[in-house]
Structure 1
């Protein structure tokens, strides 16, 4: 009985997480075919006019836009969007340090379902912070607000490979 529940959960989770992505095979390159054999998921990246790479994910069933930042130590989300993604937050003892500033206050939460195509994280702990400095800069050049930044924590846990020529992020399922 427990095995049946687990299988149903995995099946339903995979259905829930696919709505943000059109079905297309991104394993058409030599690299892609090799990584497909190694059980990687191909995620199409976009490129903003600023040169930043971005992707679409789902946070608790709601579409979200994230900038991909290989230099960011961890993934963060915009604190003003906690209600949009149905997040319950608390103040964190940690402070953010980075190019956007130092000693920035953080909130923390646990995301029930964080889906990047079929790469799924359950009960994933994440920090929220004010991303006005990023979103205001994007607005000035006509780019819509982002919901967060994908950082090294997800890239490392997903054993990420980035094909910059084809703008494809591969994450190991």
Structure 2
């Protein structure tokens, strides 16, 4: 296993409710705020906000409903994102799940927190053996062997 990237974590205090963990990354080489969610099974992106990052957006309806992020079930779409990067770590041609993150944006706006462009979930974190170090405020991502 080879270390690909060590990136700084941003710990965002939530009023009386702990912290959210964020990293600065890029979607198709444009800066993006990415929330790290170890409880999310998949990485997801906002179906409206993603348009800023894609040259020509082709979305397909996803037959499976998604659960989580404070809702029971929600319709999802799928698209391919050419590049998602965090420091020296990069995923290419990622089959992304797109959901409506309006409720997340509203909550963050009410708390005067930064906008979320995507949520990095367990699919990427597990595959790349992510290590979150709260003391040093770092995220480490590793190369994986199939």
Question: TM-score with structure 2 length normalisation?
Answer: 0.88
* Superposed CA offset, 1:35-82 (max 9, x none): 9xx424101110112110101111111111111110001100111113
SS at match of 1:159: coil
| Partner in structure 2 of residue 140 of structure 1 | 110
Match of 1:129 among 96, 99, 120: 99
Structure with the bigger percentage of strand = 2
2:13 is matched with which residue?
Answer: 49
Pairs aligned (count): 137
Bigger radius of gyration, 1 or 2?
1
Q: TM-score, normalised by structure 1?
A: 0.75
Confirm or deny that 1:68 pairs with 2:36: yes
Contact conserved, 2:23 with 2:33, CA < 8 A, in 1?
yes
CA RMSD of aligned residues (A): 1.4
Gaps of 5+ in 2: none
1:165 aligns with 2:129: no
Structure having the larger proportion of residues in helix: 1
SS of equivalent residue, structure 1 residue 169: strand
SS, match of residue 113 in structure 2: coil
- Please list the CA deviations of residues 2-31 of structure 1 after superposition, one character each: whole Å capped at 9, or x if unmatched: xxxxxxxxxxxxxxxxxxxxxxxxxxxxxx
More relative contact order, 1 or 2 (CA 8 Å, 6+ apart): 2
